[in-house]
């Protein structure tokens, strides 16, 4: 799958996005956008990438549950 940000997501990412959308009752497109933005930000700073999917999922879940004011 190619997204609007031109990132090709592996099946494990797509599964995480779908699970987050189901868990938070949010549209998949919204979760996808937030996930990609978060993943890109975390990936650019990460030296060890083994747990990047888990960290991205946790960060997105937290943001969907507790949105920042004005975001």
Q: Spell out the residues 6+ positions from residue 12 whose beta carbon is closer than 8 angstroms to its own.
A: 53
Tens of each residue's pLDDT in the chain, 71 residues: 444 444 677 899 999 999 999 999 999 999 999 999 999 999 999 999 999 999 999 999 999 998 877 76
pTM, 2 dp: 0.82
| Domain chopping of the chain, boundaries | 11-65
Give the pLDDT of residue 43: 94
């Amino acid at each position: 799958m190619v997204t609007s940000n031109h990132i090709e997501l592996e099946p494990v990412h797509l599964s995480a996005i779908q699970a987050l959308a189901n868990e938070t009752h949010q549209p998949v497109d919204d979760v996808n956008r937030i996930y990609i933005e978060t993943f890109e930000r975390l990936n650019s700073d990460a030296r060890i990438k083994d747990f990047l999917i888990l960290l991205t999922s946790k960060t997105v879940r937290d943001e969907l549950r507790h949105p920042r004011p004005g975001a």
